[in-house]
Amino acid sequence: MTTATAPALHTVLGSGPAGTALAAELVRRGHPVRLVDRSGGGPAIEGVERYAADVATPEGARAAVAGAAVVYHCVNVGYHLQVEVMPKIQEAVLGAAEQEGARLVVLDTLYPYGETHGAVMTEDSPWNATTRKGRMRAELDARYLAADREGRLPVVLGRSADFVGPGVLNSTLGGAVFPAALTGQPVPALGDIDLPHSYTYIGDVATGLATLGERPEGDGRVWHLPTAPARTTREVLALVEERTGRPIDVTVVAEPRPFGPFDETFMAEYAEMFYQHTEAQVVDSSAIEKAFGLAPTPLETALDATLAWYGELLAATYH
């Protein structure tokens, strides 16, 4: 007589838009899921255990990943704290996942590439970051890949462009744009709005990371998460305009200054990253699409879902 073994636990660290979307995607795929943040609170998600832990500490990280076969690191911190805090989180999470014998899937950014002068970013693009946050991310990524190479634990990195989608507030295509577009307020747009700029739909972040979590043959390298072909900011805003049926009053933010949900503290820290809006940001995700049969959500579909979510949010706020 054989006994069925319980499905392996997948633990998601970080309950922001990416972690929350990923937890729901993993449940959809039949995995038991633990979603970890410092409070353990938030709306109930069917099939997801919410858990409180501070993964910047070794003890918190060990408690968070106990019993997990796969750990997804989707934790982020306030922009002004990143250079100091993200390395501590890495050290704690790497140590805990290694001790647990788990695989580690890391949600990553484009920052290690630095300024590309508009060149298309692939997984083979050089890491030329010169900013504090870019160099920090590159150093973290080098350590993640070294941990895999040295046999400490299997690690894979999924890189995303700027997020867009339901639940996404703190993005250049987020809380400063959609409520204003839906209510006829001025819509801020950063830098040169005639340059192409890639956005990764939050649903594709979840699909990409979940796929990497299920497919160990992808370990030991960086993958670009599925990302729709880049459009210019002007084209993106025209698509939003079509969908809302309202003309958009665009306010071009040509240099780093506070706007919308981005306050002075944030923008002072973001200034070094503003090159992302003064040169083209074009992400090629064909590698993960070919390797795992994934396809990015068309931008039009992503915008439909995002506008619907923001419409519900505004309705709930004002009623």
Assigned domain for 84 exists:
yes
Q: pLDDT tens for residues 11-49? A: 999 999 999 999 999 999 999 999 999 999 889 999 999
Residues 89 and 118 in one domain: yes
Provide CB contacts within 8 A for 21, sequence distance 6+: 165, 167, 202, 203, 205, 206
* pLDDT at position 2: 45
Assigned domain for 4 exists:
no
Model confidence, pTM: 0.96
Query: How many other β-carbons are positioned within 10 Å of the β-carbon of residue 277?
Result: 22
Q: Whose CA is closest to 49, among 32, 67, 62, 31?
A: 32
Q: What percent of the chain has pLDDT over 70?
A: 97
Across the range 98-126, mean pLDDT stands at 97
Residues 208 and 305 in one domain: no
- Domain containing 127: what range? 10-162+199-227+282-297
What is the tally of structural domains in the chain?
A: 2
Across the range 206-215, mean pLDDT stands at 98
Q: pLDDT tens for residues 310-319? A: 999 999 987 6
Residues 65 and 210 in one domain: yes
Beta strands 9-13 and 199-201, pairing class: unpaired
The one-letter amino acid at 28? R
- Residue 81 three-state SS: helix
Distance (Å, whole) CA 307 – CA 309: 5
Distance (Å, whole) CA 297 – CA 300: 8
Assigned domain for 185 exists:
yes
Assigned domain for 3 exists:
no
Q: DSSP for 152-197, please give it.
A: SS-EEEEE--EEESTT--SSTTTTTTHHHHHHT--EEEES-TTSEE
Q: What are the tokens at 263?
A: 């306050």
Residues 137 and 83 in one domain: yes
Residues 150 and 234 in one domain: no
